[in-house]
Structures are given as C-alpha cells and as structure tokens.
Structure 1
Amino acid sequence: MTRLRLILDPFLVLLLCTVALASVLPARGQGAHLASIVADAGIVLLFFLHGAKLSREAIWGGAKAWQLHLATLGTTFLFFPLVGILLQQIGAIPENMRAGLLFLALLPSTVQSSIAFTAIARGNVAAAVVSASFSNLLGIVLTPLLVALLMQRGGSNLISLSSVEGIMLQLLLPFVLGHLARPWIGGFVSRHKTLVGRVDRTSILLVVYSAFSAAVVEGLWHRVSRAELALLALLCIAMLVIVLLFTWGLGRLLGFSREDAIVLQFCGSKKSLASGVPIAGVLFPAAAVGPIILPVMLFHQIQLMACALLARRYGAQAADRADSQMATIS
C-alpha cells in the first residue's frame, strides 16, 4: 500500500483540485489580497517547522561520506541547472513555462520520497537522510541565488535582488528561528508529525490557489494550449531520464558501492515540490507563479512514478542477490 501511495500520490490529486478550483473560482480583489496574506503566513510557519524538525546531529553527520554528498549536491545544483539551461532553447512553449523548467532545475532535492525510495531499493538509508536534508537546507539559500543569477539573463526581469532579500527573511529567518527553538519545541514536532505534515500540505495548497488565481485572472488558460502542456510533460520526462542516466554513470565512475550509488540516483534526481512552491510564491510576481510552478507539479508526479518502478527493481535485484548468497552458503 505504501508503494502504491508513492505512485498515485494523493497530495497531487489535492493539488489538481486546487488548480481546478482556482480556475473556476479565482480569488479576486480583496479576496486575492487576503489569500496572498494567508499563503505568506503559511510559508513562514512551514519553514519555521522545517527548522525545528532538523536535528543538529543530522547536520554534523553530513561530514561523513563527503564524496557521496558532494556528488549529490553537484548533481542537484550544477548538472540539473545545466540541463535546465539547455531546455531554455526550446521555444515551442510560453516563456513563463520555459522559465518554470529552469526554476525546476534549480530546486533542492526532496526528503521523504528520496529516503522512501532508497529504503525500498535497499540502499544506504542513513546517507539518504543526510544528503536529502542537506540539499533542502542549502536550497533555502542556493536556489534563490541561482534564480537571481540564471533567470536574470537574456533580459528577463522575473525577479530582482530585493526578491532574494525577501526570501531570506520569509524563508531563511523562520527556518533559523525554528532550529534555534528546537530544544523547546522539537519534542512536540517529533510527536506530532502528522500535524506538521498537514501544515506543510495546507501551506502549499494555499500558495497554489493564490498563484493560480492570479494567473487565471491574467488569462493563463487562454494562453496555454493542450499541445504546449503535452510538450511540457515530455520535456519533464526528458529532464528526468537525462539526470537518472547521469547519476547512474557518475556512481560507477566514482566507484560507489551499490548502496551509495542508489542514494546518489534517488537524491540527485529529485526536485522538491514542498520547497519549490513556497519559494516561487516569494520570488516571482503573483501572475507569473502559476505557469512557473506547472513544470514543478508535472515533474513531481513523473519522478514519483519512474523512481517507484526503479526502486522496486533495485529492491528485487538485492533480494535475489541475497537469496543466491544464502543458497551458496547452504
């Protein structure tokens, strides 16, 4: 059942319902202003709780297996952006959605699904926890800086340096405050993981509703065709395939063990919807957020389906290998 949930991802269904609601009943006027304020408050609370969840032991533990962590971070924040830049040359989709592909490439890795897939594939779960956590922690700073650097080129004015300053205050400051408050609230956060998860999801849904409301009011669905959406999905698939092949080859080149190579592939190939939506909501103008996070939402589901199949295959191979070894010993 857990594996089935990884493929179907009920949260994506809620996201699609939220997009549909914003398309039919978009927030306008004072309603849009109120929705924006509530969404911003949700983002602050979300990153405060993320800071409270991350233990100092996990941070210091990142010093171990440094080659693996550097390879994962290099894939996430160097190779992935290069792929995103290359895809910018495809002019068959609207400019904002092309910008969304590049924004997708600049996001940190996921945490929950990276660890879950590593466990299913019988990889190094402890290393996956550290790599994914480090990626998310660094992404709060690196993603806005990369966006400022790469998305300003070519005359694009989607963001400004003041937007980056804003994200430091709205995301990084709550994260740091949450981490500093961990001695007092860490136990509560650990005991109420379900509640924290609901806050995460509710915050994201609020941002998506606010973003797509603004985009719909600006005429999003009149400017994007079905053919463009189909092409966008194909580009997301192409991006994932390229990175999966790259991480597989890099793991072999660096001589990683099977368990560590699995960590590199699953942590290096993921992009975080949970981080991407709030960051986009802070960085970009309200009307631009909808089309920019479309690639993130598509890639999220595609990566879940593809990596679930890979994880099952790797897990079955490991089980067969273990059975063969047992038979040999017997």
Structure 2
Amino acid sequence: MKPKIDGFVLGIIAIVILAYLFPFWGSKNSPIPLSLIGSIGVSLIFFFYGLKLSPEKIKTGLKNWKLHLLVQASSFILFPLIVIAIYPFVKTESNHTIWLGFMFLAALPSTVSSSVVMVSMAKGNIPAAIFNASISGLIGIIITPLWMSLFLQQTTTEFNLGSIYLKLITEILLPVIIGIALQRYLGDFVRKNSRYLTLFDKSIILLIIYKSFAQSFEEGVFNSVKLTDLMLIFVAVTLLFILVFFSINKLANTLGFNLEDRITAQFCGTKKSLVHGTVFSKILFKNTVSVGIILLPLMLFHFIQIFIISIIASKLEKQAVAFER
C-alpha cells in the first residue's frame, strides 16, 4: 500500500488559492455572513462528535492509564515545551507571529479520525486510540486557551480568557454534551451517515480556512512572508514532528510498553487536530488579521503528519502480515 496525498490536503491548497484570487467574499465587507455560517457549522460538528462519543467506551478505556497519560502529556506538555524553548530566539514582530502559530499548533489536541485509522492500519491498540483521540478534544477545550493566554495577553488587549471560555462552552462543549445525551436516539443515524458527516465537517473547516486567509490576503498580511520563510516553516514542522515522535518512542520503551501500545502512543501523541485548530482560531484570534499566518504551521504539520505516519503505518502493516504468515 503506497501512501497517497490526502484529498483534504488538496482541498486546503485549493481553498487557499481561491482566497488569494477572490479575497472579497471572506473579508469584513462581504455580504455573505461566513462567520455566522461557520459558528453554526462548528456547533453542528461537535454535536455530531458528541453523538459518536460513547460514555461506555470512555469508562472502559480508563484502565490503561500509563498509555493515556503519555499520549496526553505529549500533546499538551511535550509539544508546547519544545516550542517555548525557541521563544528567547524570536526577535522580530513577523517572526513572533510565526512563532505564535507554532505555539498554537503545539497547544492543540490530537486528531480523531486519522489517528484511529492509522493505528488500525499499523495493528496498534485501537480501543486506546479511540479513547485518547476522543478525550484529547475535550481536554483541549480547557488546556489550549490556557497555553495561548500566556502569550496572547502580551500582544493584544482584546484577549479575554473568560469570554473565550464562554464561547468555547456554548459553541463546542454544550453541543458535545447534547450529542452525548441524544446518542441513544440518534447514534444509529450518525453511524449510517458517517461518510456524509465527515464531508460536512471538512466543508466547514475549509470555509473557516477560506475566511481566515481571505481576510489576511485582503489586509496584505502575507506580504511579509517570503518563500524562504515558508520553506523554513515546513522544515521546522517536520523537525518538530520527528523530535516528538522519537521522544515518545523513548518514553514508551522506558515505561515498558508492548508494540501495540507504543504504536498507539506515537501515532496519537504526535497528531494535531486541524478541525480543532481552525475552530479555536476562529475564537482565539477573532480580531487578528494575521490569523492566516498563525494557521500556516498547523496546515503544513497536517500534511507532514499524514504523510509520515501513513508511510510508517504501511510499513508496520506489511511487517504484521509477514509475521502472521
């Protein structure tokens, strides 16, 4: 099985080009209420997420606490500490904005779908992957704004942690809770239509990305970003991924994890959710015109994580098949 370019990655590239060619429709003067559409779409995404989040599976998954602790610590502690270590070397304002994008990437939760799919392909611990990927999104609602508050309050007077949490609760957490409550009635509907719901999720994310980049292009924010900067960001996110991947491997071996748990720890602990990233950026950087630049590291990391993990998962799958024979 050869790794192929994810269709969603191609969609992101296309939507950024569209935002560059037609920025007006995503600007503040646009007659189309993209912010309102995005807010409603986000609430629906997390409502459906709640419908898929089984309380029974979460209770069962709590047993393997060492694995869960390593995955969540990697997502919310290891990643941010690595990026914070670079902070003293940030000198210019443009570099600070790019660094802020890396910090935002580092503070985000793990992604759900691709983590579970890749763990399944590599013959890892699937129940643990489902648990960690699911619970990570809920933890991120609390942790991500806390990490960002340490640095955003220094750059903007409009950053209010209380109002941000209120918006996160009403727009994200409340729909999740309602979804969990209605699971017994609508759970079958979600399972039968998961393909269409995934398409809906990606459409809303692309809409938010379009608005973010269109506004940035309209304001001329990207005029300060050179091709060499873009290449350096790409190299940096690749190195960040590799560093975290091998650090988790070292920690997993130290803790005596078996192969299945080590695969799950590495695959889930190195992933970052583009869904949560675009949604959180809409709330955390509401009045920031440079949100397009802030999202750049996350989008490049999304491509890197899918590409590298798919190669590793494919290799592990072949080894597992050969071993079974």
Q: Structure 1 length normalisation: TM-score?
A: 0.90
- Go from structure 1 to structure 2 and tell me whether the alpha carbon gap of 1:260 and 1:87 turns closer, same or farther (over 3 Å shift): same
The answer to whether the aligner puts 1:18 opposite 2:19 as a matched pair is no
The answer to whether the aligner puts 1:233 opposite 2:237 as a matched pair is no
What SS does the aligned partner of 1:75 have?
Answer: helix
Which residue is equivalent to 1:168?
169
Which residue is equivalent to 1:177?
178
The answer to whether the aligner puts 1:31 opposite 2:33 as a matched pair is no
Aligned-pair distance for 1:267? 0.5
Aligned residues with identical type, % of pairs? 34
Counterparts of 2:168 and 2:20, CA distance in 1: 27
The answer to whether the aligner puts 1:95 opposite 2:96 as a matched pair is yes
Counterparts of 2:195 and 2:118, CA distance in 1: 20
- Go from structure 1 to structure 2 and tell me whether the alpha carbon gap of 1:90 and 1:196 turns closer, same or farther (over 3 Å shift): farther
- Go from structure 1 to structure 2 and tell me whether the alpha carbon gap of 1:207 and 1:165 turns closer, same or farther (over 3 Å shift): same
Amino acid at match of 1:288: S
Aligned-pair distance for 1:285? 2.5
Which residue is equivalent to 1:314?
316
Counterparts of 2:300 and 2:122, CA distance in 1: 24
Counterparts of 1:152 and 1:215, CA distance in 2: 18
Aligned-pair distance for 1:165? 2.4
Aligned-pair distance for 1:159? 3.1
1:48, 1:177 within 8 Å by CA — same for their partners in 2? Answer: yes
Which residue is equivalent to 2:39?
40
The CA deviation string for residues 15-42 of structure 1, in whole angstroms up to 9 with x for no partner, is 1111111111112344266112111211
Amino acid at match of 1:245: F
Which residue is equivalent to 1:224?
225
The answer to whether the aligner puts 1:53 opposite 2:57 as a matched pair is no
**1:267-282 map, 5 Å:** 267-282=268-283
Which residue is equivalent to 1:295?
297
Counterparts of 1:293 and 1:32, CA distance in 2: 24
Counterparts of 1:290 and 1:164, CA distance in 2: 22
1:22, 1:213 within 8 Å by CA — same for their partners in 2? Answer: yes
Which residue is equivalent to 2:141?
140
Counterparts of 1:158 and 1:208, CA distance in 2: 22
| Most deviating of 80-89 and 61-70 | 80-89
- Structure 2: 5+ residue runs without aligned partners? none
Counterparts of 2:271 and 2:71, CA distance in 1: 10
- Go from structure 1 to structure 2 and tell me whether the alpha carbon gap of 1:155 and 1:140 turns closer, same or farther (over 3 Å shift): closer
Amino acid at match of 1:151: F
Aligned-pair distance for 1:142? 2.2
Counterparts of 2:323 and 2:139, CA distance in 1: 37
Q: Structure 2 length normalisation: TM-score?
A: 0.92
Counterparts of 1:52 and 1:94, CA distance in 2: 41
